[in-house]
Amino acid sequence: MAGTLSVAQALAYVRKASEPEEPPPMLLSGPLVWVRDNLFSSIVSGLTTLAFIALALWLAPPAIEWATTLAVWSAPDGSLCRQHQDGACWAFIAAKLDYLRFGSYPVSERWRVEVVEALGAGLTLWLLWPKAPRRGWAAVMFFAVYPVLTFVLLRGSETLGLPTVDTLLWGGMLVSLLTAVVGIVFSLPLGITLALGRRSQMPVVRLASVMFIEFVRGVPFITILFMANTMLPLFVPEAWTPDRLLRPLIGIALFSAAYMAEEVRGGLQSLGRGQYEGALALGLNYPRMMALVILPQALVMVIPGIVNNFIGLFMDTTLISVVGATDFLEAMNNAFKDPAWSGPTIVASGYAFAGMFYFVFCYGMARYSAFMERVLAKGHRK
Amino acid sequence: MTTSSLEASNSIAIDFVGVHKWYGRFHALRNINLSVRRGERIVVCGPSGSGKSTLIRCVNRLEEYQRGLIVVDGVELTQDIRRIDEVRRDVGMVFQSFNLFPHLTVLENCALAPIWVRKMPRRDAENLAMQLLTRVKIPEQSSKYPGQLSGGQQQRVAIARALSMNPRIMLFDEPTSALDPEMVKEVLDTMTALAQDGMTMIVVTHEMGFARQIADRVVFMDNGEIVEINAPKLFFDNPQHDRTRLFLSQILR
């Protein structure tokens, strides 16, 4: 008896003093350690690194030389470019820049486009910068005031003394950016509406949403464009026949909305029933529950998908030329037809410039989306 | 029962009359009859799947019932969405999994419904929210997000949020079941304080100590029906029905 007690006492333990808190041991860090751990951690990894460095050294310098030191930066016409065929012909872009920006928009009225572009850029920055003051106002301006102002300025208004400019004359970056902005501004709200419709309790609303989404998703975009171009005039009274540029704009907004709806639906489905019940139990009605509780969470979750759609939409603007609109890429193709500027390097330079134009906007959207994800993730860690 | 609570019990807060509910073919609630007086504290217990949660979720119409009648504060629950909203404004609910809004701060969680449902000015709503957070003893957490709080703190925020609509009735659906053991007490203390202030409460819980201390009546449910209703002392010390005795023998050791 006494023996077992002493064994138990020997196994029992009571702490007398707390362990001191100590700093971690010296960590191995620094650039050399990073290079060893990430680039040369094994033989295969080291060989891969070397192979890619070699590839970069082989490909990059000629491309950079072609675009910079060997390039023709200014010339009155294409003859200088035809003599220097080992470099890009940026002089062509410089000579055609106004046409690439405005298409056939009358030269005397181009300031109107520039005002619209400057306002758009300013408002976009105001709206997208998370710490900017009064972003609510920015949203009102961007979604309510700006579209009206843009329409009046670009289209013209006799009462304001602005001559009307037919949309057939619009072209270049103006049309590309306009199409993208209209598509983005209309497809997101429409997509959200369709997503909510698809999850509605009302069978008619649900069926209509499902039919629209599945129909649009099952048809190629070019088909939608042709249909918008030829069928819209059939369905509306002649006096209301949509403008030739408006038809592809409607087409792209509807097309993008169907894909947006499916992204948003994914976000809605990822929220548990508890969020709905929490909101309902407080007495929030359906619109407030959606606007204040459900959508803010669902949309944040699908930001990558939404931005992916925006990027796709921006690329798809190049297709509206099939129904006769002169987007930026089409304007570039038109510019190649100038006999004063014909030559092999000119076409290559033109497409390189077009590629950079699209890349800048799409990469910008991608980076902004990544930035917003980080900002919003800070707010509510789950 | 004291005289003051007898006086308070003159009016009926919630009346269940012959309520039936089915999930598909499954008969989830069977002929429920129960009158909850104003200021009364009811604890509902029973094995899992017995219909306790379904019962209280019918009170604010998170669940529909197919037959019978529920009258809350004199308002009969029907399909009419305006009546449902009226009842929901009057009935606060606290859930097992808190259901706080993770994208809003603690303060915003508590001020949301007063601002948007009661149309209270933002400043007043935030003052009210701070008062309620003080009442549940976490005013210092008001600017944090729910995900940064412990389970017990989140549940106390959920209680404050439910109180923000100034409800006359509070429903608790297993409020401590998702909590780590060391956090159960802080939530039960908050609920006890609420009970002592005279709130009408229906609490679904397995905390038998709480039931014994706070409940005016304990309702035991099994298999979708009410098996026994009794004062806590009689319920625990001298249960009448076999199923009650079996249940108590399983959970009390």
Which A residues in the span 239-278 are in contact with B, Cβ-Cβ below 8 Å?
272, 274-275, 277-278
Residue A376: band (very low, low, confident or very high) from pLDDT cuts 50, 70, 90: confident
Residues in chain B within 8 Å Cβ distance of A291: none
pLDDT number for residue B5: 43
Give the mean pLDDT of chain B.
Answer: 91
Query: What secondary structure letter does DSSP report for A254?
Result: H
Q: How far is B187 from chain A (nearest CA, A)?
A: 18
Residues in chain B within 8 Å Cβ distance of A275: 99, 101
State which amino acid sits at residue A275.
Q
Q: How far is B89 from chain A (nearest CA, A)?
A: 5
Nearest to A280 among B88, B146, B147 (CB): B88
CB pairs under 8 A between A and B: 71
Residue A235: pLDDT over 50:
yes
Stretch B233-253: mean pLDDT: 90
- Are residues A274 and B95, on separate chains, in Cβ contact within 8 Å? yes
Dist. CA A361–CA B92, nearest whole Å: 49
pLDDT number for residue A378: 63
pLDDT number for residue B4: 45
pLDDT tens digits, A104-140: 898 888 899 999 999 999 998 888 888 888 888 888 8
pLDDT number for residue A2: 52
Cβ-based interface (< 8 Å): residues of B facing A = 60, 62, 81, 85, 88-89, 91-93, 95, 97-103, 112-113, 116-117, 145-148, 161-162, 164-165
Residues in chain B within 8 Å Cβ distance of A277: 62, 93, 95, 99
- Among A271, A282, A300, which would you mutate to test the B interface (most chain B Cβ atoms within 10 Å of its Cβ)? A282
Nearest to A292 among B92, B116, B161 (CB): B116
Stretch B160-172: mean pLDDT: 95
Residues in chain A within 8 Å Cβ distance of B177: none
A302 in Cβ contact with A267 (< 8 Å):
yes
- Are residues B116 and A288, on separate chains, in Cβ contact within 8 Å? yes
CA A61 from centre of chain: 30
Which residues, 6 or more positions from B108, have their beta carbon under 8 angstroms from its beta carbon?
B101
- Are residues B103 and A277, on separate chains, in Cβ contact within 8 Å? no
A374 in contact with B, Cβ within 8 Å: no
pLDDT number for residue A28: 67
A379 in contact with B, Cβ within 8 Å: yes
pLDDT number for residue A158: 81
A337 in Cβ contact with A291 (< 8 Å):
no
B29 in Cβ contact with B65 (< 8 Å):
yes
Residues in chain B within 8 Å Cβ distance of A292: 112, 116
Domains of chain A: 98-378 (1.10.3720.10)
Residue B7: band (very low, low, confident or very high) from pLDDT cuts 50, 70, 90: very low
- Are residues A282 and B88, on separate chains, in Cβ contact within 8 Å? yes
**What distance, in Å, lies between the first and last C-alpha atoms of chain A?**
55
Q: What are the backbone dihedrals phi and psi of residue A174, each rounded to the nearest 5 degrees, phi first? A: -55, -50
A51 in contact with B, Cβ within 8 Å: no
Which residues, 6 or more positions from B20, have their beta carbon under 8 angstroms from its beta carbon?
B27, B29, B30, B31, B32, B65, B66, B67, B68
**Cα angle, residue A234 at apex, residues A233 and A237 outer, rounded to 5°:** 75
DSSP reduced 3-state for B94: strand
pLDDT tens digits, B57-105: 999 999 999 999 999 988 888 878 888 888 999 999 999 999 999 999 9
Closest chain B CA to residue A281: B88
A375 in contact with B, Cβ within 8 Å: no
Stretch B30-40: mean pLDDT: 94
pLDDT number for residue A344: 84
Closest chain B CA to residue A275: B99
Residue B2: pLDDT over 50:
no
Give the mean pLDDT of chain A.
Answer: 88
pLDDT number for residue B9: 43
- Are residues B99 and A297, on separate chains, in Cβ contact within 8 Å? no
What are the tokens at B195? 């009970």
Q: How far is B14 from chain A (nearest CA, A)?
A: 16
Tokens 């509406």, residue located: A193
**Cα angle, residue A368 at apex, residues A365 and A370 outer, rounded to 5°:** 110
State which amino acid sits at residue B3.
T
Residues in chain B within 8 Å Cβ distance of A296: 103
State which amino acid sits at residue B148.
Q
pLDDT tens digits, A288-338: 999 999 999 999 889 889 999 999 999 999 999 998 889 999 999 999 998
pLDDT number for residue A173: 93
Residue A228: band (very low, low, confident or very high) from pLDDT cuts 50, 70, 90: confident
Q: How far is B238 from chain A (nearest CA, A)?
A: 37
A285 in contact with B, Cβ within 8 Å: yes
pLDDT number for residue B123: 95
Residue A100: pLDDT over 70:
yes
A296 in contact with B, Cβ within 8 Å: yes
pLDDT number for residue A234: 83
Lowest mean pLDDT of A28-32, B102-106, B206-210, name the range: A28-32
Lowest mean pLDDT of A142-151, B146-155, B212-221, name the range: A142-151
Stretch A265-285: mean pLDDT: 93
Residue B45: pLDDT over 80:
yes
Nearest to B101 among A275, A280, A283 (CB): A275
